[in-house]
């Protein structure tokens, strides 16, 4: 596995270290030893699967408040997405900053998202399917939505959403959720 830290401290892009031959390739999606060696969470309590039928379906930006905050490991299994994370850790040098990455079935890149980040994506192809490992159980009362179009964050989405849930349309701005966040 190849780990590369993004510009947001604690988040990583992870690529397969492929062993290829005439049959194709083999690579690890997860190795406890390698995650531990990089100081990353390696305990997963849930594995979630998301499928979006339509291009420009936006999901997020979701996060859970303490003590239910989550580490996520996200990979696109089919299709393609623009995946976005926002640092919501009070006191972080990158608080309120975002990072986006193209994830697809063909590039097989994964993103490791530490606790204290909001996460969301927009589909770039129809029938996009996402798999993500999560370190904590989902707690509906702790779930929050950061507004995908918050002008103070100014995420550079590749397109406007065509399909978006009512919950995600009504997300809160960073200014409005600031008081709910833990350092």
Confidence of residue 183 (pLDDT cuts 50, 70, 90): low
Average pLDDT of every residue of the chain: 94
Q: Rounded to an integer, what distance in angstroms lies between the CA atom of residue 17 and that of residue 92?
A: 31
Confidence of residue 101 (pLDDT cuts 50, 70, 90): very high
Residue 87: CA count within 13 A, CB half-sphere: 19
pLDDT above 80 for 182: no
Encode pLDDT of 9-33 as tens digits. 999 999 988 888 898 888 888 889 9
Q: Tell me the percentage of the chain whose pLDDT exceeds 70.
A: 99
CB 58 within 8 A of CB 145: no
CB 155 within 8 A of CB 58: no
Active site residue 119: no
pLDDT above 80 for 124: yes
Spell out the domain ranges in the chain. Answer: 2-180
Q: Is 167 helix (H, G, I), strand (E, B) or coil?
A: helix
Mean pLDDT of 164-176: 95
pLDDT above 70 for 125: yes
Mean pLDDT of 47-64: 96
Cis peptide before 67 (omega within 30 of 0): yes
Strand partners, 112: 12, 73
The active-site residue out of 132, 138, 172, 178 is 132
The active-site residue out of 42, 62, 138, 178 is 62
What confidence score (pLDDT) does residue 29 get?
82
Active site residue 132: yes
The CATH number of the structural domain formed by 2-180 is 2.60.120.10
């Amino acid at each position: 596995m190849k780990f590369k830290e993004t510009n947001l401290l604690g988040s990583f892009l992870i690529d397969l270290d492929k062993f290829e031959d005439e049959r194709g390739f083999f690579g690890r999606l997860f190795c406890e030893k390698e995650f531990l060696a990089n100081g990353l969470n390696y305990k997963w309590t849930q594995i979630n699967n998301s499928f979006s039928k339509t291009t420009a379906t936006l999901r997020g930006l979701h996060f859970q408040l303490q003590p239910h905050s989550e580490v996520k490991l996200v990979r696109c299994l089919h299709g393609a997405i623009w995946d976005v994370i926002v640092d919501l850790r009070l006191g972080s040098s990158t608080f309120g900053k975002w990072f986006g990455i193209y994830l697809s079935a063909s590039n097989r890149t994964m993103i490791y998202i530490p606790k204290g980040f909001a996460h969301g994506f927009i589909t770039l192809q129809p029938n996009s399917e996402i798999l993500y490992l999560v370190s904590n159980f989902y707690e509906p009362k702790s779930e929050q939505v950061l507004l995908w179009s918050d002008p103070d964050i100014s995420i550079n989405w590749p397109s406007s959403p065509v399909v978006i849930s009512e919950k995600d349309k009504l997300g809160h701005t960073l200014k409005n959720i600031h008081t709910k966040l833990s350092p």
